[in-house]
Amino acid sequence: MNAALAIADLRVHAGDRAVLDGVTLTAGEGEHISVVGPNGAGKTTLLRCLIRACRPASGSIRVFGKDLGAYKPKELARLVGYVPQGDRSLAPFTVREFVMMGRYPYLRAFSPPASSDRDAVERALADTGMEPFAERAMPTLSGGECQKAFIAAALAQEPRILLLDEPTTFLDPGYQDEVARLLTRVTRERGATVVAVTHDINAAALASARIFALGAGTVVYAGSARAFMDNAVLARVYGREFLLAPHPRTGTPLIVPEAPPWAP
């Protein structure tokens, strides 16, 4: 399997503190991986390094075999798309305008979008079911619609690697399910590699091939999703054990909430 993404011994410092302290991680082409771990483990920092919003102190990041720093900004953006975390203040663009911004790495200054740009935007809107909202202003969308608009914009970018920062965390169960399915379907259709940072380890265990767990800036688990759902592993990552029960169809162990003693 060719590595779409290969991170080796990545270190990032914030002041004296090491946010990432030697992270090694790979993702094959078309592979779906999840990065999990407690708050403050450095998951978002890892993604920010991949879009070069954060400068590592040492280590290497290779995207399709080429050093991340060797890419021009637009060249990199044609390969790597990013959906940031859910809490955001929005400029009042329409959804279509916002999704069109995903085409930036393909545009030239002063020239209007080409037909290929408009096609990519329409396809992204259709794939995410956002066509009926195309003329709505971004600040008027609900959380779920907004998340789909952000995904649509990243898809319009036609990246080969899609980075997602907690894509379902702030959504209601209906939208969580919808967004999760959407991501699986669309990325599979497009053959894109997915790197998802998430707290939803049940969803990660079901959707992704491999899981990387970060703890205090280092990788504490890297391996198959199924083997991750084991209390020996979970205790290492989250510092406690959980109640596990198999998924009714796939048999994958999933975390279920403990019932209080007075529950009927």
Partner 1 sequence: MGAVNPGRRLAVLAVCALAVALAAPWIGYGATPPAAAFAPFSGTADAEIFWRFRVPRVLLGFLAGAGLAAAGAAFQAMFRNPLATPFTLGVSSGAAFGAALSIQLGLPAAILWLPGGAVCALAGALLAILIVYGLARSHPERSIAVLLLAGVALSFFFSSLLLFLHYLADFTRSFLIVRWLMGGLQKTDGFAGVLALAPFVASGSAIILAFTHELNLLATGEDLAASRGVGVRRVQAVLFFAVSLMVGGIVALCGPIGFVGMMVPHMCRLAVSPNNRLLVPASLLAGGAFLAACDAFARTIIAPAEIPVGVITALLGGPFFLWLLAGRRRRDRVPGEDPA
Q: Is residue 90 part of the contact set for partner 1 (CB under 8 A)? A: yes
CB of 227 to partner 1, least distance (A): 32
Q: Which stretch binds partner 1 (CB under 8 A): 24-32, 70-78, 194-202, 256-264?
A: 70-78
Q: Is residue 16 part of the contact set for partner 1 (CB under 8 A)? A: no
Tell me how far CA of residue 40 lies from CA of 35, 37, 74, 85, 228, in angstroms.
13, 8, 30, 14, 20
Which of 45, 147, 157, 208 contacts partner 1 by CB under 8 A? 157
Residues that bind partner 1 (rule: CB under 8 A) add up to a total of: 39
Q: Is residue 42 part of the contact set for partner 1 (CB under 8 A)? A: no
DSSP annotation string for 175-202: HHHHHHHHHHHHHHHHT-EEEEE-S-HH
Q: Is residue 137 part of the contact set for partner 1 (CB under 8 A)? A: yes
Which of 8, 53, 57, 126 contacts partner 1 by CB under 8 A? 53
Residue ranges in contact with partner 1 by CB under 8 A: 48, 51-53, 55, 73-78, 80-82, 84, 88-93, 97-98, 101-102, 104-105, 107, 109-110, 136-141, 146, 157, 163
